[in-house]
Structure 1
Amino acid sequence: MDERRLYEEVTSRIREAALLGSCAAVLGWDEQTYMPTGGVGLRGEQAALLAGIQHDRATAPRIGEVLDSLQDAPIAQGDSAEAANLRQIRRDYERRKALPKSLVEELARTTSTAQHEWVIARRDVDFERFRPWLDRILELKRQESACRRVCLVGRHACSTNEQPSDAAATIYDPLLDDYEPGARTAELRVVFGEIREGLTPLVAAIAEARKRGVGSDGALLRRSFPVERQRMLAESAAAAVGFDFERGRLDVTAHPFCTGIGPGDVRITTKYDERKFDDAFFSVLHEVGHGLYEQGLPDAAWGSPLGEAVSLGVHESQSRLWENFVGRGRPFWTYWFPIARRTFHDSLQGASLDGFLAAVNRVEPSLIRIQADEVTYNLHIIIRFELELALISGELNTADLPAAWADKYAETLGVRPSNVAEGCLQDVHWSAGLFGYFPTYSLGNVYAAQLFAKATADLPGLEDELAKGDASALLAWLRDKIHRHGRRYEPTELIERAVGGPIDAKPLLTHLQRRYGGLYGV
């Protein structure tokens, strides 16, 4: 048996499927940025066709034959790049093989149109317009879960966290595993419980401090910040922390995102509001974090697992690290605040660094997730996680979603949406079929806290460098610890190797207490 020839054959086939995926990514990016609304129907058919062709390529029987031939071969053993690739190719092959082509096509077709229906429903504050699409997506995602469950059970047959009687977890785990391999609903409940327990007293203490007039009211950031100047400052900051604009671009969309098309083509987006400086600037830093990860993956391995991001939780750790741990910190603004004052000389006239930091780190329970402060953000995610479980299990009917959403916000954050646009229609994820995605945001925060704490320990001069506008040491550290490995390791193993210990929510809670306890004197 010619192991090398067979290995090259299977990786070549997988790369062809990845090329088709990159074509679909371009269409998806275009749909969210420049495509006219009249193209919705055709784009849905294009997405379905490409998804079907990609599915055929990625599940070709020959791939299974080659994987079986190589299963016991030396090339598939150990921790080599080839062995890691083969392990992940088999995982992906089995998961894709479990799905009928017709289901893959229908999901692509339905979600393509549903995303546009969501845009209109949110604009018109009309949940009933979107509800049939949500019902259809839930039906399709339940089918997907049932198809993939056998793959998940096989890989977790000995899990001590298995809860066979938990109907929601039984359906949700295979969907969650698509975004965060190895993660389980039972484990998330524990981690999220720790986060809720740690955040509740901090949020309450800050609320009391705010009643006493402590902290910023955020008015500084609601002055007039011309959009074109916002764009210039955001692009300057993005380039300064390492985003390569010769291999990427920044555009405008309704809901900011990052798309890695492939080597040399990483696209990030934001949205601007003249009266909300922090919305665009921090969304750019957030998406830049994603973009840096994509640009840091090894080009030579593109199209294979070792050229792909390991999980959405790890991906989110990169965006959260740059947005919050760097971008909301004093060292970062020691350098960038004077530049911001020159850029917005009228709006920031008389503003101090301390006043500006208090504004960008203002804590106030809010309705909109993407505008949430760093302290309360995870509570937004926990709400969505609980609602997803109820929806996917059928415990919550979609007709009752707006009320359930409003009640959870009132109970958890003390605020209640006045309409569905600021309630259950605010996020694009469900219209795109992304059930199991939301928890990765909070996992990303947990990972980011651990990574930044370790980087700070490993790089004693990091704060001084950031205060000089130099983020190169931190980026190099992340390249070495996270980016270059692709999917060589499972997400938790990758983080554990990087930080030298197990996944732990305590560094996140410590960071939040230190930063915001100091700002609010609690």
Structure 2
Amino acid sequence: MNESQAYASLVAHGRESADLASALSLLSWDQQVMLPAAAHPGRAAQLGALTAVLHRRATDPRIGEWLAACEGSPLTRDAATSEAANLREWRRDYDLSVKIPEELAVALARAASAGQRAWEIARKENDFKAFAPHLQELLELSRRKAEALGYTTEAYDALLDGFEPGETVAAVAPILAELRGASRELIAKAKDAPQPRDLPQGPYPLAAQQAFLGEVTRMLGLPPEASRLDVSAHPFSTLIGPRDARITVRYDATDFTKALFGAVHETGHSLYSLGHDIGDARHGTPMAEYVSLAVHESQSRLWENQVARSLPFWEHVLPLAVQHFPELAGCAPRDVFAAVGAIRPGLIRVDADETTYNPHIVLRFELELALVRGDLAVADLPGAWNEKSRDILGIVPPSDAAGCLQDVHWATGAFGYFPTYSLGNVYAACLFEAARAALPGLDAAMARGDFAPLLAWLRTNIHEKGRLLRPRDLVAAATGQAPTAGPLIRHLKAKAQAVYGL
């Protein structure tokens, strides 16, 4: 078999696996959005069975043979080609997959399915003890996964690398510390400054919010024929398959901005997902996939924060909002801009303002690192969470539902995921600063409701690149410099200056 035949075999195998993975994604989406309560045990078995099939395909010895036939051939001579990038990433995926026993992969899938359902109930009933056994199982399985993958310094590094290739505790911790310090300084200054006026508390009818979100997401570029919006306990976005992006939100009748920013955030994810899978030629290859969760998060946070929390956005969107919510008729664009840009420490991460968001991530990162290291017992998590919340956010949760049970990530075994949120914030600020330099009329375009130039810039520089470059290299190529926390800190300071005059 020559390299061309081997490469064609890899593509064909990848496409079939991608189609099967789409079925797995659909089962998972359905579990979170539509599944009847009594059907959850059966769904866990279904997810486990399909995970086993995909794991066998991912570890098929033929993949190693096909890769060996291609590596060192003309297909890998130019690292900037799609073929070379696909082969490099297929090799990474295969080498990692063969380290995970099928039994462990299936156990993780089943435990995640059961854990998610247990979390939904425990969060609703504020019952951490009922959820604790599931968390313990998921933690133990995650430690086994880290040992199977291998690591140099930290078991946590092996888990983090699965979400953010190449990142480690040693590399991430200083960035989080820098962001925490900058946030703490701004929070302290804003505390004594006059606070912006709150927006009217509604009520904002559900039907009106749904209609408003549909108009805003279409305005940003999300194609209605390739997406849908639903409700779930925890907002999320997933790409079921080509041209099939799903997003979810949760509504609050007293505050329409919670669903709005949730929808814009998930729209950013979906725009990225739809943007790197640009046709049949790429389907089933790494070039049709996202490069990392931090880059994925950079897209959602950019649209949520740099765009939807900006004054130009509200100059265009407020008249539309007033049509749906007459309560806003007395507000000016600057009033809404100030209200949604205010620094107001709170308990819930997904509702946090830009400045207090990163301290939320620091809290979670430090706790899950302690859990993985074995320095913190699952039974002691609620107390440790409350203590860190007091130290980092200055607030103690009144319940576990508003504390250690508020996020779904650990309920699905996603240890090592949280740092990607802050890295995503860093990347978002770097990218938006570069886009502004490349598109001098960007603010004016957004004030007209024209978001196409920004989306086109992101498509060219990020979305269409797939896994051509590693995360930090991708951002550096798009911006012309290595990513740092500098642009994000400048952005937060500029927002505080605009809102508070700090």
TM-score tier after normalising by the smaller chain length: over 0.9
C-alpha contact (below 8 Å) 2:155/2:373 kept by paired residues: yes
| More divergent stretch after superposition (193-202 vs 306-315) | 193-202
Counterpart pick for 1:342 among 294, 319, 323: 323
| More divergent stretch after superposition (45-54 vs 347-356) | 347-356
| CA displacement 1:364-422 (0-9 Å, x = unmatched) | 11111111111100000011000010001110001111011001110111100011000
C-alpha separation between the residues in 1 aligned to 2:494 and 2:472? 26
Q: Which runs of 5+ in 2 are unaligned?
A: none
Q: Within 5 A, what are the aligned runs for 1:469-508?
A: 469-508=449-488
Which residue in the other structure is 2:158 paired with?
Answer: 174
Q: State the one-letter code of the partner of 2:459.
A: R
C-alpha contact (below 8 Å) 2:89/2:467 kept by paired residues: yes
| CA displacement 1:122-155 (0-9 Å, x = unmatched) | 1111110000111100000000001111xx55xx
Which residue in the other structure is 2:24 paired with?
Answer: 24
Q: What RMSD, in angstroms, separates the aligned Cα atoms of the two structures?
A: 1.0
Secondary structure of the equivalent of 2:346? coil
Which residue in the other structure is 1:284 paired with?
Answer: 263
C-alpha separation between the residues in 2 aligned to 1:269 and 1:321? 18
Secondary structure of the equivalent of 1:172? helix
The question of 1:435 aligning with 2:436 is answered: no
Which residue in the other structure is 2:341 paired with?
Answer: 361
Which residue in the other structure is 2:383 paired with?
Answer: 403
C-alpha contact (below 8 Å) 1:203/1:375 kept by paired residues: yes
The question of 1:208 aligning with 2:186 is answered: no
Secondary structure of the equivalent of 2:354? coil
Q: State the one-letter code of the partner of 1:75.
A: L
Which residue in the other structure is 1:324 paired with?
Answer: 305
The question of 1:85 aligning with 2:86 is answered: yes
C-alpha separation between the residues in 1 aligned to 2:434 and 2:200? 32
The runs of at least 4 aligned residues of structure 1 exceeding 3 Å deviation read none
Which residue in the other structure is 1:125 paired with?
Answer: 126
* Distance apart, 1:76 and its partner CA: 2.3
Q: TM-score, normalised by structure 1?
A: 0.94
* Distance apart, 1:221 and its partner CA: 4.5
C-alpha separation between the residues in 1 aligned to 2:134 and 2:381? 14
C-alpha separation between the residues in 2 aligned to 1:115 and 1:91? 29
C-alpha separation between the residues in 2 aligned to 1:104 and 1:274? 41
Q: TM-score, normalised by structure 2?
A: 0.98
| CA displacement 1:135-188 (0-9 Å, x = unmatched) | 100000000001111xx55xxxxxxxxxx4xxxxx1101100111111111011
Q: State the one-letter code of the partner of 1:171.
A: A
C-alpha separation between the residues in 2 aligned to 1:370 and 1:199? 17
| CA displacement 1:48-81 (0-9 Å, x = unmatched) | 0000000001110111111122222121222221
C-alpha separation between the residues in 1 aligned to 2:267 and 2:366? 29
Which residue in the other structure is 2:283 paired with?
Answer: 302
C-alpha contact (below 8 Å) 1:217/1:362 kept by paired residues: no
Which residue in the other structure is 2:501 paired with?
Answer: 521
Which residue in the other structure is 2:100 paired with?
Answer: 99
Matched-pair identity in %: 45
C-alpha separation between the residues in 2 aligned to 1:27 and 1:466? 37
The question of 1:43 aligning with 2:27 is answered: no
| CA displacement 1:79-109 (0-9 Å, x = unmatched) | 2211110000010001111000000000111
Secondary structure of the equivalent of 2:290? coil
The question of 1:313 aligning with 2:290 is answered: no
C-alpha separation between the residues in 2 aligned to 1:475 and 1:354? 25
C-alpha contact (below 8 Å) 1:262/1:302 kept by paired residues: no
Q: State the one-letter code of the partner of 1:267.
A: R
Secondary structure of the equivalent of 2:380? helix
C-alpha separation between the residues in 2 aligned to 1:41 and 1:490? 38
| CA displacement 1:235-279 (0-9 Å, x = unmatched) | 101001100111111111111100101111111111111112111
Which residue in the other structure is 2:404 paired with?
Answer: 424
Secondary structure of the equivalent of 2:85? helix
